[in-house]
Structure 1
Amino acid sequence: MNIRHLEFFVVLAQELHFRRSAERLGITQAPLSLAIQSLEAELGARLFHRTRRTVALTEAGLALLDDARAILARIEHAKESVWETVSGEVGRLRVGFTNASTLSPFFPRLIHAYRTQRPKVNITLLELSSSRQIEAIEQREIDVGLLRMPESAPPTDLVFTPLMEEPLLLAMHARHRLVSAPSIKLNDLRDEPFIAYPRQAGVAVYEKIVALCAKRGFKPQVVQEAQQASTLIGLTATGLGISLVPSTLQTIAVPGVVFRHLDETDTITTLYIVHRHGDANARAMQFVELARGLRDETSYRT
């Protein structure tokens, strides 16, 4: 059944006048008459009573009218659904994030802004390590990731866009010997016990710390591991050891823990937003563009 013929039929059923219907459709009366005749021939029933003065629906026409309107409405709905999906207005967006990234003011601002702009999109947030996020994006398990670049990251076709840089801070017990030091460098931590993320967890900050220490000729002496940022700071409060953490972690206020900046130029960690190169997912690309825009509006160093 020709959809265009159904559209002509519904308009004529509303107007019950060939000339007005043709004008409304933007065509002449001849193709309108041919379309109605073709539809009637296909259905094997007269749809209109026609005289020189009047046009009226037949019983068959009345029976078809509701169905025709429903069919056209469903087609229009399908078009709108496809458009909304392609344009990124609806659908699902899977976003990976690291544990520490949630403590940055950038993270909640980005998620809130996206949900405000795309309220019909179902956004799913998945907490994953940086290394695991890279794998998940490549395997299309998630659409975008908020992560720090692992030192051991293999060559990839993914696109890494920097969002913000922040220094690594030294977290230590309030009575630690370095609390009152006028200046602290990584070399001062050579013999210190470290509390760190597990090596096998794929946490980029851990790899960064190991690389920075190796650059200075030593390996951090890890005496305790912790999976979560809050646990890391909590264990530091016990005096068991020191930890190096992104500056956003100082928002975890634990009594007895002091944070100090390092007098170094390379102790910086960068938060990236990552997506697949050439991704046709409109929702993912809109999320990335929003992140870039928010980055440019802030005073974060990038």
Structure 2
Amino acid sequence: MNIRHLQYFVVLADELHFRRSAERLGITQAPLSLGIQTLEEDLGARLFHRTRREVTLTEAGLALLDDARAILARIEQARESVWEAVSGDVGRLRLGFTNACSLSPFFPKLIHAYRTRRPKVAITLVELSSARQLEAIEQRELDVGLLRAPLSGSPASVVLSPLYTEPLLLAVQSRHRLAKARNVCIADLRDEPFIAYPRKAGVAVHEQTLSLCAKRGFEPKILQEAQQASTLVGLIATGLGMALVPASLRAIAVPGVTFRTLADDDTTTTLYVAHRYGDVNARVTQFVELALSFR
């Protein structure tokens, strides 16, 4: 049974006139008549009574009509589903993000804009460190990531595109002498206690802190570790230590914590959007393009 012949049948059943049906289909009457004859032969039944004056449906034609309409409707629905999937309008997008990234005004603005443009896409947000995101993208557990590039580099299979750069700030207890110092440099932190993310957590800022201190000839004295940004800032308020943090963490307003700009010219951190190299998923392409448009 040919789909085109079913279309011919439904149009002719609506019009009950060969000339009008052919005009509606954009064909001549000859292929329309041939198509109907072929369909009747396939089904082994006459579908229309034909006379010089009129065309009417037979009982077999009446029996076929509802099914034919339903078949064509399902085919059209299938076409639309495929088109939506290819166009990126439906499906799922698994997006990784860092804890600090979620505190930036950029993050809710981007997510809201994407959901507004693609309301039928189910977006799954997964909070992971930068290193864990790179692993998850490479292993196809995530589609896209919002992360900070590790100093050790990223896998060749992952594409990183910069979104924005922000300063690293010194988060320190407000009563500490450095909270009110005229200028603060990383070198001034040589003998100070630090609070940091665990090294194994894969947080890029931790790696960067070690590198910045190493360039000044010392290793930071890490007295306390914290898994979450809010915990880290809260512990700084106790006076246990200080930390280098992205400027977006200023959104965590904890009494007793001061964020100081550093005088060093290499204390910045960049957020990237990451995805697998060669990924042709339309949802990924659209999200990356949207993220880059916000730069």
TM-score range, shorter chain: over 0.9
> Which residue is 2:286 aligned to?
286
> Which residue is 1:35 aligned to?
35
Structure 1's consecutive aligned runs of 4 or more residues displaced over 6 angstroms after TM superposition are none
Task: Give the Å deviation of 1:274.
Answer: 0.5
Cα pair 1:192 1:241 within 8 Å, conserved: yes
Cα pair 2:134 2:154 within 8 Å, conserved: no
Q: What letter matches 2:185 in structure 1? A: K
What are the equivalent positions in structure 2 for 1:1-302 lying under 5 Å apart? 1-295=1-295
Q: Secondary structure at the match of 2:294?
A: helix
State how far apart, in whole Å, the 2-side matches of 1:17 and 1:292 are: 56
Q: Report the TM-score when normalising by structure 1.
A: 0.97
State how far apart, in whole Å, the 2-side matches of 1:21 and 1:40 are: 17
Deviations along 1:185-242, one digit per CA (max 9) or x if unpaired, are 0000011000000000000010011111111111111000001000000000000011
State how far apart, in whole Å, the 2-side matches of 1:188 and 1:230 are: 25
Listed as ranges, the gaps of 5+ residues in structure 1 are 296-302
Task: Give the Å deviation of 1:276.
Answer: 1.2
State how far apart, in whole Å, the 1-side matches of 2:57 and 2:287 are: 52
Q: What letter matches 1:219 in structure 2? A: E
Q: What letter matches 1:228 in structure 2? A: Q
Q: Secondary structure at the match of 1:164?
A: strand
Across the aligned residues of Structure 1 and Structure 2, the Cα RMSD in angstroms comes to 0.7
Q: What letter matches 1:20 in structure 2? A: R
Q: Secondary structure at the match of 1:93?
A: strand
> Which residue is 1:300 aligned to?
none
Q: How many residues align?
A: 295
Identity %: 74
Cα pair 1:194 1:222 within 8 Å, conserved: yes
Cα pair 1:131 1:153 within 8 Å, conserved: no
Deviations along 1:33-63, one digit per CA (max 9) or x if unpaired, are 0100000001000000000110000000000
State how far apart, in whole Å, the 2-side matches of 1:170 and 1:111 are: 29
State how far apart, in whole Å, the 1-side matches of 2:160 and 2:114 are: 19
Listed as ranges, the gaps of 5+ residues in structure 2 are none
Task: Give the Å deviation of 1:164.
Answer: 0.8
State how far apart, in whole Å, the 2-side matches of 1:155 and 1:67 are: 53
Deviations along 1:50-92, one digit per CA (max 9) or x if unpaired, are 0011000000000000000000000000000000000001010
Q: Secondary structure at the match of 1:291?
A: helix
Task: Give the Å deviation of 1:154.
Answer: 4.3
State how far apart, in whole Å, the 2-side matches of 1:212 and 1:255 are: 28
Q: What letter matches 1:42 in structure 2? A: D
